Amino acid sequence: MSDDRMKIILRAVQEIHDGMYVNLGIGMPTMIASYIPEDIQVMLQSENGLLGIGPYPVQGEEDPDLINAGKETITAMQGAVYFDSADSFAMIRGGHVDLAILGGMEVAENGDLANYMIPGKMVKGMGGAMDLVSGAKRIVVIMEHVNKFGESKVKSVCTLPLTGKRVVNRLITDLAVFDFNENGMILVALQPDATLADVAAKTEAAYSVSPLLKV
């Protein structure tokens, strides 16, 4: 894993608190499960029907029947519960998930999120992202600040198909942490080794800087 991605994951772990019911999206968010401190009790929910996801299995102890929504082999914690997809989405749509941490392709300054498809590329479906952004109590998006072409993914307006409008509560990138409220997008923290100049140069969106900015 790159240093930039590790910065994002370690910062995202701080969003998880004792007693939470949490859904981790496919890709980089899934890796967060391996870094949750052992001294807090968290129930990880997967939309394919498991509440109580454990860490990745060690090599040789994989169970092919235990997978997450990203089709990766996982383990189940003691007391885990299995159920069908309908019950899983009833939990999500019913507002019983405290926190959803999702990957993003683009986030706009008003909190819009695009994360499920790039036009012209094959996509199997949007998965549960639209349900999660409308049903979970808090939405945290994690992504690299720029794409492989060096273009900002933190946009004034999303150019990709939207997953949800004004749904992002917090955005964590390899450079910074932003919050969203009725006043717009606010820079609340810098990642290690990042500067205000770095963020300004690589952010298309308009934002304000919190007077309580953390490093």
**Mean per-residue pLDDT, 98-126:** 89
Asked if residue 138 is part of any domain, the answer here is yes
Instruction: Residue 168: name the closest of 95, 211, 114 by CA.
Output: 114
What is the pLDDT at residue 110? 97
Number of domains in the chain: 1
The answer to whether residue 110 is domain-embedded is yes
Q: Under DSSP, is residue 74 helix (H, G, I), strand (E, B) or coil?
A: coil
* 88 belongs to a structural domain: yes
CB atoms within 10 A of CB 21: 18
Evaluate whether residue 60 is within a structural domain: yes
Q: Are 169 and 138 in contact (CB under 8 A)?
A: yes
Question: Per residue in 199-212, pLDDT tens?
Answer: 999 999 999 999 99
pLDDT per position as a tens digit, 57-97:
989 999 998 988 888 899 998 899 999 989 999 999 999 99
Please indicate whether residue 15 is annotated as part of the active site. no
For the stretch 107-116, pLDDT in tens is 999 999 999 8
pLDDT one-digit tens code per residue, 139-196: 999 999 999 999 999 999 999 999 999 999 999 999 999 999 998 999 999 999 999 9
- Domain annotation covers residue 201: no
Residue 103 belongs to domain spanning: 3-173
Q: Is 183 part of any domain? A: no
For the stretch 135-148, pLDDT in tens is 999 999 999 999 99
Q: Is residue 210 part of a domain?
A: no
- Which of 15, 38, 47, 109 is catalytic? The answer is 47
Cβ–Cβ under 8 Å, residues 194 and 202: no
Give the model's confidence band at 118: pLDDT under 50 very low, under 70 low, under 90 confident, else very high. confident
Query: Length of the chain in residues, anyone?
Result: 215
Question: How far, in Å, are 2, 110, 213 from residue 105 at the CA level?
Answer: 18, 15, 25
Q: 72 and 48 in contact (C-beta within 8 Å)?
A: no
Domain with 100 in it: what CATH number? 3.40.1080.10
8, part of any domain: yes
